[in-house]
């Protein structure tokens, strides 16, 4: 028998949302107020995480070292600010058609500092930034891989996410049980800039899920010219590494070992890699 949640999932699939997870607000209990969804929408009951894939071909120009702009458009700016944003607001309008409020949230790095002053002493200063990557884990879609990026069983590191905060009574998605990352360390071993502290692994726990992540010097990643880019919104934000050599090496590894549901008839990495 169809429910609000099953109808919503059917609609999302029809609108080509590649990934959709639902985190009940209780999975954010350990998040401080200056990054908490209810600081934006106090009646929020569920955080819907919407994802669209970065197609493998979008990485091809960087992998070959001959075309970087197509990733910047179809993998980064256009994907997030146009294609995914349209999917997110389309799903939000569906929820509001059912008479539930739906607040769309883009992926702005939580490292970005507040840019205003609190309007009341009991409220955090604007703008509250929600950690969208962590929300994807809390919604059961993903884990944080050893490379420090979000990995899903469908696409590995190849996707971007946005959120919808809603008071709709949606059924939660279970936390992801199957591991995606096999801790092979090929990602960090490929780094030509020495951004990896091999003895500096850190442990991250999100909604009870604990993941081992490499010690990464993001100051090096901000300077990296191997497919990485500065954060598109703020210099203090996390650099974009989804086209970088380390993460493309993860794409190649997950492909070769058959660990992704989005499989291909040919391998991703066909020639020796370049680096600077
Ligand atoms: S390359 Fe290996 S260790 Fe690194 S994130 Fe991918 S699966 Fe994990
Ligand atoms: S983004 Fe560049 S510097 Fe950072 S870990 Fe990856 S390859 Fe190394």
Over residues 144-183, the pLDDT tens digits come to 999 999 999 999 999 999 999 999 999 999 999 999 999 9
Residues 142, 115: contact at Cβ < 8 Å? no
Give the model confidence (pLDDT) of 184-212 as tens digits: 999 999 999 999 999 999 999 999 999 99
Token digits for 223?
Answer: 């300077």
CA of 247 relative to ligand 1 center, distance in Å: 8
User: What is the pLDDT, as a whole number, of residue 154?
Assistant: 98
User: What is the pLDDT, as a whole number, of residue 196?
Assistant: 96
User: What is the pLDDT, as a whole number, of residue 50?
Assistant: 98
Mean pLDDT (whole number) for 14-27: 98
CA of 250 relative to ligand 1 center, distance in Å: 5
**What letter would DSSP give residue 240?**
B
**188 CA closest ligand 1 atom index:** 4
Mean pLDDT (whole number) for 49-61: 98
Residue 146: CB atoms within 10 A of its CB come to 23
Residues 71, 192: contact at Cβ < 8 Å? no
**275 CA closest ligand 2 atom index:** 7
User: What is the pLDDT, as a whole number, of residue 80?
Assistant: 97
Query: Helix, strand, or coil here: 47?
Result: strand
Nearest CA-CA partner of 56 in 259, 255, 275, 274:
255
Q: Please indicate whether residue 242, judged by its CB atom, sits closer than 6 Å to ligand 2.
A: no
Gap between the Cα atoms of 132 and 231, Å rounded: 14
**What letter would DSSP give residue 269?**
-
Question: Among residues of the chain, what percentage have pLDDT more than 70?
Answer: 100
Tell me which residue has its CA closest to atom 4 in ligand 2: 221
User: What is the pLDDT, as a whole number, of residue 117?
Assistant: 95
What rounded mean pLDDT belongs to the chain? 97
SS3 content of the chain, % helix, strand, coil (to 5): 30, 20, 50
User: What is the pLDDT, as a whole number, of residue 120?
Assistant: 97
Gap between the Cα atoms of 254 and 263, Å rounded: 10
User: What is the pLDDT, as a whole number, of residue 272?
Assistant: 96
Q: Please indicate whether residue 150, judged by its CB atom, sits closer than 6 Å to ligand 2.
A: no
Q: Please indicate whether residue 49, judged by its CB atom, sits closer than 6 Å to ligand 2.
A: no
Question: Among residues of the chain, what percentage have pLDDT more than 90?
Answer: 98
Gap between the Cα atoms of 128 and 148, Å rounded: 23
- Give residue ranges with CB within 6 A of ligand 1: 145-147, 181-187, 249-250, 253-254
User: What is the pLDDT, as a whole number, of residue 170?
Assistant: 98
Give the model confidence (pLDDT) of 72-92 as tens digits: 999 999 999 999 999 999 999
User: What is the pLDDT, as a whole number, of residue 167?
Assistant: 98
Q: Please indicate whether residue 160, judged by its CB atom, sits closer than 6 Å to ligand 2.
A: no
**What letter would DSSP give residue 77?**
I
pLDDT band, very low/low/confident/very high, at 115 (cuts 50, 70, 90)? very high
Mean pLDDT (whole number) for 248-268: 98
User: What is the pLDDT, as a whole number, of residue 228?
Assistant: 97
CA of 46 relative to ligand 2 center, distance in Å: 34
Token digits for 99?
Answer: 């008479």
pTM strictly above 0.75: yes
User: What is the pLDDT, as a whole number, of residue 124?
Assistant: 97
User: What is the pLDDT, as a whole number, of residue 92?
Assistant: 98
Q: Please indicate whether residue 52, judged by its CB atom, sits closer than 6 Å to ligand 2.
A: no
145, 195, 213: which to mutate for ligand 2, most atoms within 8 A of CB? 195
CA of 244 relative to ligand 2 center, distance in Å: 6
198, 245, 248, 275: which to mutate for ligand 2, most atoms within 8 A of CB? 245
Give the contacts of 140 (CB within 8 A, at least 6 positions apart): 21, 22, 23, 172, 173, 174, 175, 176
């Amino acid at each position: 028998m169809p429910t609000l949640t099953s109808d919503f999932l059917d609609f999302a699939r029809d609108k080509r949302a590649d990934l959709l997870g639902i985190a009940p607000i209780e999975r954010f209990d350990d998040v401080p107020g200056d990054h908490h969804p209810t600081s934006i929408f106090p009646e929020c009951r569920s955080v819907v995480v919407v994802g669209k894939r970065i197609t493998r071909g979008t990485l091809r120009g960087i992998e070959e070292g001959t075309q970087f702009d197509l990733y910047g458009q179809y993998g980064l700016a256009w994907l997030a600010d146009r294609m995914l944003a349209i999917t997110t607001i389309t799903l939000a309008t569906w929820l509001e058609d059912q008479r539930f409020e739906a607040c769309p949230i883009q992926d702005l790095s939580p490292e970005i500092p507040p840019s205003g002053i609190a309007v009341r002493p009991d409220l955090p200063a604007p703008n509250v930034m929600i950690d969208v990557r962590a929300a994807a884990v809390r919604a059961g879609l993903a884990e944080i891989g050893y490379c420090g990026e979000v990995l899903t069983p469908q696409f590995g590191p190849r996707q971007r996410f946005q959120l919808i905060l809603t008071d709709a009574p949606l059924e939660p998605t279970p936390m992801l049980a199957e591991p995606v990352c096999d801790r092979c360390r090929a990602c960090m071993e490929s780094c030509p800039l020495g951004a990896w502290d091999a003895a500096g692994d850190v442990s991250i726990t999100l909604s009870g899920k604990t993941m081992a992540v490499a010690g990464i010097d993001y100051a090096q990643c901000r300077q990296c010219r191997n497919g990485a880019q500065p954060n598109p919104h703020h210099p203090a934000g996390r650099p974009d590494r989804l086209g970088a050599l380390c993460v493309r090496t993860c794409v190649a590894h997950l492909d070769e070992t058959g660990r992704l549901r989005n499989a291909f008839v040919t391998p991703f990495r066909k020639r020796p890699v370049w680096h600077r």
